[in-house]
């Protein structure tokens, strides 16, 4: 850090070994500070402290982001804080373990990935291990203890490696399936995988048997099955996010049917609602479809990531704002500003 040599010329005033607070500026690759930006170290630490948890009841929502020294927030059904999970890195997936007492998460720090197990109610760290995979995007905790997990690792943006489904225990990693895919949805017994330019597959996580459910359109991403695992929604697009569309595969029919709805952009979150309805949360407009894929409502939605808790959609914005909307018709309402920069929000119920 560069500063003037004396307080008379606005240089910082301190002695060797003294702890101070200093607001820094960066220009041309150099950090600098001055006397006007100097504060007591204790005051700066107090101002940066995370707000005390004020939530009640069970964990309803998990949020990943950068929250001071933490990367995970546990929220109640009203969006109030229940606990903080400490750690560095960017989170890409959560999965609540059977029984609801533990939660697993995947974090990326640089080029490395870690798999972390926490106590759900407090986010206390239980165990952490290196994840020797590239592009892990989906996670499923399969045991109450958190010692049996399944992870999907995608093929990468340029299909430079084979996708893998792996079972992970504290002492072993076992490959269940290999192929070419960008995304998979993991359930208790099956993994549902969209092959690149191929089919929708059901991979039995116990026997490794693979069943072809239906052909799919090319470029399918972000697969979301309904609760019965009979209908599957995905966002599809060509290279460079061209020709965005919503793709619905219905395996209740023989042969399975594939329906396509053109979209205006390729981003968003697909949420299954009661009675076969479907919500598509896209910035700046959310759409709700009936079971025949007719649009029954639309409302303004401005959030980068979304999830569903009961009949309520929750979303986060990059500026830290937590928002919600009662489905099917909204409107979107601000709830609070989170103490940091969130990028991932997941329903605790839907991740179990």
The one-digit pLDDT tens for each residue of the chain (352 residues) are 888 877 667 888 888 888 888 888 888 888 988 888 888 877 776 666 789 999 999 999 999 999 989 999 999 999 999 999 999 999 999 999 999 999 999 999 998 999 999 999 999 999 999 998 888 999 999 999 999 999 999 887 677 788 999 999 988 999 999 999 988 999 999 999 998 877 899 999 999 999 999 988 777 788 999 999 999 999 988 776 778 899 999 999 889 999 999 998 888 999 999 999 999 999 999 999 999 999 999 999 999 899 999 999 999 987 899 999 999 999 999 999 999 999 999 999 876 6
Determine the distance from the C-alpha atom of residue 53 to the mean position of all C-alpha atoms in its chain, rounded to a whole number: 22
How many Cβ atoms are within 10 Å of 10's Cβ, its own excluded? 15
Selection from 279, 259, 277, 257 nearest residue 268 by Cα = 279
Q: What tokens appear for 224 in the block?
A: 């979301």
Per the CB < 8 A criterion, the answer to whether 150 and 168 are in contact is: yes
189: helix, coil or strand?
coil
Entry pTM: 0.86
What gap in Å lies between CA 86 and CA 109, rounded to an integer? 14
Per the CB < 8 A criterion, the answer to whether 258 and 248 are in contact is: yes
Q: What tokens appear for 207 in the block?
A: 């026997």
What gap in Å lies between CA 310 and CA 349, rounded to an integer? 9
What gap in Å lies between CA 321 and CA 308, rounded to an integer? 17
103: helix, coil or strand?
strand
DSSP 111: T
Alpha helix stretches (DSSP H) within the chain: 41-48
H or E stretch including 203?
strand 199-204
What gap in Å lies between CA 288 and CA 270, rounded to an integer? 10
Residue position matching structure tokens 């929250």: 67
């Amino acid at each position: 850090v560069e500063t003037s040599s004396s307080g008379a010329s606005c240089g910082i005033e301190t002695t060797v070994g003294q702890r101070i607070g200093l607001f820094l500026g960066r220009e041309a690759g150099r950090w600098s500070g001055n006397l006007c930006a100097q504060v007591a170290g204790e005051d700066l630490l107090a101002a940066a402290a995370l707000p005390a948890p004020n939530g009640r009841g069970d964990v309803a929502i998990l949020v990943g982001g950068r929250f001071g020294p933490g990367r995970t927030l546990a929220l109640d059904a009203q969006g109030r804080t229940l606990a903080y999970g400490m750690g560095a890195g960017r989170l890409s997936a959560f999965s609540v373990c059977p029984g609801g007492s533990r939660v697993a998460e995947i974090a990326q720090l640089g080029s490395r990935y870690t798999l972390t197990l926490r106590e759900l109610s407090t986010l206390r760290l239980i165990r952490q291990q290196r994840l020797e995979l590239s592009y892990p995007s989906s996670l499923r905790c399969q045991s109450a203890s958190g010692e049996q997990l399944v992870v999907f690792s995608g093929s990468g943006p340029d299909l430079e490696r084979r996708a893998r489904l792996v079972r992970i225990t504290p002492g072993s990693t076992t490959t269940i399936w290999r192929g070419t895919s960008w995304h998979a949805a993991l359930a208790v017994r099956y993994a549902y995988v969209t092959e690149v330019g191929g089919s929708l597959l059901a991979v039995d996580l116990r026997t490794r048997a693979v069943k072809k459910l239906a052909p799919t359109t090319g470029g399918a991403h972000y697969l979301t099955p309904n609760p019965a695992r009979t209908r599957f929604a995905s966002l599809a697009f060509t290279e460079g996010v061209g020709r965005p569309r919503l793709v619905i595969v219905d395996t209740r029919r023989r042969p399975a049917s594939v329906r396509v709805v053109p979209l205006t952009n390729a981003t968003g979150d697909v949420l299954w609602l009661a009675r076969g309805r479907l919500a598509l949360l896209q910035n700046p407009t959310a759409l709700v479809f009936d079971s025949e894929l007719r649009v029954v409502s639309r409302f303004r939605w401005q959030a980068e990531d979304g999830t569903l808790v009961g009949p309520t959609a929750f979303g986060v914005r990059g500026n830290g704002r937590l928002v919600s909307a009662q489905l099917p018709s909204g409107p979107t309402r601000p709830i609070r500003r989170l103490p940091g920069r969130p990028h991932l929000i997941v329903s605790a119920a839907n991740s179990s």
